[in-house]
């Protein structure tokens, strides 16, 4: 696998509360240099980010919807998603309402996701975050079924805001459940080439990795 092929599996981001234009400009420069497939920013920065990478066909505009808790009302999430699309988002990472899910309100969670995903344009991709570190093993099958039924392109393991890293064995369980029905994005605490390789071997197709670690991993493929 080449460094370019690896970079085309990695999303980098500036989605912390304190991130400024300087932080976004910094990760855009890295995305252009290494060709990371996606730059994620918080929704209010989409309009700023989009023109910065408009001339980069291998780099896409990403942002989260309902971030970080997933607990906004459905109506609020829909309005946010609509504005994100108008502003130029190309990949939307939607946070599932984990509290409602854990309350076994599966119809509520699925209906909300379907309404948001129905808004997407043909050029867009959507990912649903299940916040794996908040779920019990006994809840994984139901969570996977909801994400599959939602019509999303990817199941994403988490936001990175909940304590705990991307657990390889639990991600393996997710892969066993969903098979080839949809793609997996692993995020949270992936720091090394060994961790990257192990998740890749499981069948993970996209990774959310902090920029410093992502660059270090890329360099091992050069």
DSSP annotation of 44 reads G
Task: Decide if 125 is catalytic.
Answer: no
My answer on whether omega of the bond before 176 falls inside 30° of 0, hence cis, is no
Closest-CA residue to 200 (of 216, 189, 186): 186
- Cα distance between residue 179 and residue 37, in whole Å: 24
String of DSSP letters for 159-222: -S-SSS---HHHHHHHHHHHTTSSEEEEESS--SHHHHHHHHHHT--EEE--HHHHHHHHHTT-
Tokens of 117: 């995903």
Which listed residue (9, 77, 127, 185) is catalytic? 185
Tokens 């460094």 correspond to 3
Angstrom CA distances, 74 to 90, 134, 166, 200, stand at 21, 21, 28, 34
Cβ atoms 27, 61 nearer than 8 A: no
Strands 91-95 and 183-187: unpaired
d(CA 131, CA 152) in angstroms, rounded, equals 16
Catalytic residue among 9, 11, 35, 93: 93
Residue 156 annotated among the catalytic residues of the structure: yes
Catalytic annotation present for 9:
no
Indicate the SS3 state at residue 39: strand
Please identify every residue annotated as catalytic.
93, 156, 185
């Amino acid at each position: 696998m080449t460094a370019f092929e690896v970079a085309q599996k990695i999303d980098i981001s500036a989605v912390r509360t304190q991130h400024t234009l300087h932080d976004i400009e910094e990760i855009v420069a890295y995305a252009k240099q290494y060709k990371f497939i996606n730059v994620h920013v918080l929704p209010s920065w989409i309009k700023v980010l989009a023109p910065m990478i408009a001339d980069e066909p291998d780099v896409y505009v990403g942002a989260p919807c309902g971030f970080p808790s997933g607990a906004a009302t459905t109506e609020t999430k829909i309005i946010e998603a609509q504005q994100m699309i108008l502003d130029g988002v190309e990949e939307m990472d939607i946070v599932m309402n984990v509290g409602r899910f854990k309350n076994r309100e599966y119809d509520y969670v699925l209906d909300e996701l379907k309404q948001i995903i129905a808004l997407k344009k043909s050029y867009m991709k959507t990912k649903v975050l299940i916040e794996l570190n908040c779920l019990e093993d006994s809840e994984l099958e139901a969570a996977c079924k909801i994400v599959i039924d939602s019509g999303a392109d990817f199941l994403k393991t988490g936001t990175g805001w909940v304590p705990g890293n991307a657990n390889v064995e639990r991600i393996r369980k997710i892969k066993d459940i969903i098979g080839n029905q949809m793609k997996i994005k692993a995020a949270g605490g992936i720091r090394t080439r060994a961790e990257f390789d192990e998740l890749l071997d499981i069948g993970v197709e996209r990774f959310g990795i902090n920029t410093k670690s992502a660059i270090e991993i890329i360099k091992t493929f050069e």
